[in-house]
Amino acid sequence: MSKPTDPPDQRAAEIHDQIAALGPCLPGTLSSRMLRCGNPNCRCRDTQTDQRHGPYLYWTRKISGKTASKLLSTEQAERYRPWLANDKRLHQLVRELEALTIQAAQHAEGWGEK
């Protein structure tokens, strides 16, 4: 069994601390879209000038395997941007923790060693 001062154990402890310090995590992405409306006489229908409406900000995520989007105001998008970044960082940290755990299991069981 490894000691708590071993580098992989130290890194795992650092990862746990970073996860605990993250704050709110909002899954999904923030995107900006320029759209055409339904009015056939609107300027946005002129393909020569491409004067679509927007930009509109959307929070997009998966719910039960289906894509769901929510229109956000500029203020909402700015408020949630750090939460989205926290979620991305959370997943990076979890993947790193999983890799450390796989290495520990391989070392403990002698898997992959010749």
On whether residue 89 sits in a domain, the answer given is: yes
On whether residue 43 sits in a domain, the answer given is: yes
On whether residue 2 sits in a domain, the answer given is: no
The set of residues, in sequence order, having a beta carbon less than 8 Å from that of 82 and lying 6+ positions away, is 23
- Reported pTM: 0.80
Q: Which pLDDT belongs to residue 12?
A: 94
What domain count does the chain have?
1
Length, in residues, of the chain: 114
Q: How many angstroms separate the CA atoms of 96 and 101, rounded? A: 9
Residue 72 structural domain: 7-109
Q: Which pLDDT belongs to residue 113?
A: 59
On whether residue 1 sits in a domain, the answer given is: no
pLDDT in tens, the chain (114 residues): 445 457 788 999 999 999 999 999 999 999 999 999 999 999 998 888 889 999 999 999 999 999 999 999 999 999 999 999 999 999 999 999 999 999 999 999 999 755
